[in-house]
């Protein structure tokens, strides 16, 4: 979206996206869950910052460690050993696990490298894998590499993109 007269792209606010996502869930009468690694709970926090979100939000899994991914979401150790925590395979299992271990019909999962350390040539700082699980559909996976403008920027952009993916998934009904 471009602001009139400025020529600058207006960034969508996290709170606006969270509100839109909650309203889309409410219209479709579905509950939501999150499975978060690199965001450390920022997605579920954005959703629960909004009054009335308890009618839509079921739960959020903050699975920062590999052990948490295994214990809370059922991510297979073999997946982590073969592909790493930041991979399509792990994002898929996180999203599917959040859906299976909740009362939700949509689950948003993120796993990435927010920095400033931890990046490599194959997996740079800013790499994030997204998984969106919707009941009755295959998990939608998406990879993004955000500019390395700092940890806060990467995490904020990850939250916004996850909410946008959730909105797109709900629009596909």
pLDDT at 12: 73
The CATH number of the domain holding residue 48 is: 3.90.950.20
Q: Is residue 90 part of a domain?
A: yes
Q: Is residue 141 part of a domain?
A: yes
pLDDT at 117: 94
Question: What would the DSSP string read from start to end of the chain?
Answer: -B-TTT-PBPPPPHHHHHHHHHHHHHHHT--EEEEESTTTTHHHHHHHTSTTGGGTEEEEEE--SHHHHHHHH---HHHHHHH-SSSHHHHHHHHHHHHHTSS-SEEEEEEE--SSS---SSS-TTEEEEEEEETTSPPEEEEEE---S-HHHHHHHHHHHHHHHHHHHHHT-
CA gap 128, 143 in Å, rounded: 6
Q: Is residue 96 part of a domain?
A: yes
Q: Is residue 21 part of a domain?
A: yes
pLDDT at 10: 46
Give the structural domain span for 152. 14-171
Domain count, the chain: 1
Q: Is residue 9 part of a domain?
A: no
Instruction: Name the burial class of residue 1, with classes exposed (0-12), middle (13-18) and buried (19+) by CB atoms within 10 angstroms of its CB.
Output: exposed
- What is the full per-residue pLDDT of the chain (173 aa) written as tens digits? 333 333 333 457 999 999 999 999 999 999 999 999 999 999 999 999 999 999 999 999 999 999 999 999 999 999 999 999 999 999 999 999 999 999 999 999 999 999 999 999 999 999 999 999 999 999 999 999 999 999 999 999 999 999 999 999 999 65
pLDDT at 36: 98
Q: Is residue 149 part of a domain?
A: yes
Q: Is residue 94 part of a domain?
A: yes
* Whether the predicted model's global pTM rises above the 0.85 cut: yes
**Termini Cα distance of the chain:** 25
């Amino acid at each position: 979206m471009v602001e009139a007269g400025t020529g600058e792209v207006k960034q969508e606010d996290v709170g606006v996206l969270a509100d839109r996502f909650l309203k889309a869930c409410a219209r479709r009468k579905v509950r939501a869950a999150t499975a978060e690694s690199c965001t450390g709970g920022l997605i579920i926090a954005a959703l629960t910052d909004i009054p009335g979100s308890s009618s839509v939000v079921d739960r959020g899994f903050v699975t920062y460690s590999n052990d948490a991914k295994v214990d809370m979401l059922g991510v297979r150790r073999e997946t982590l050993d073969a592909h790493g925590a930041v991979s399509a395979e792990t994002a898929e299992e996180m999203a599917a696990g959040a859906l299976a271990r909740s009362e939700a019909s949509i689950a948003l999962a993120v796993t990435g490298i927010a920095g400033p350390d931890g990046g490599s040539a194959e997996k740079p700082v800013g790499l994030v894998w997204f998984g969106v699980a919707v009941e009755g559909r295959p998990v939608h996976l998406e990879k993004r590499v955000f500019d390395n403008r700092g940890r806060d920027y990467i995490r904020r952009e990850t939250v916004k993109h996850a909410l946008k993916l959730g909105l797109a998934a709900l629009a596909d009904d």
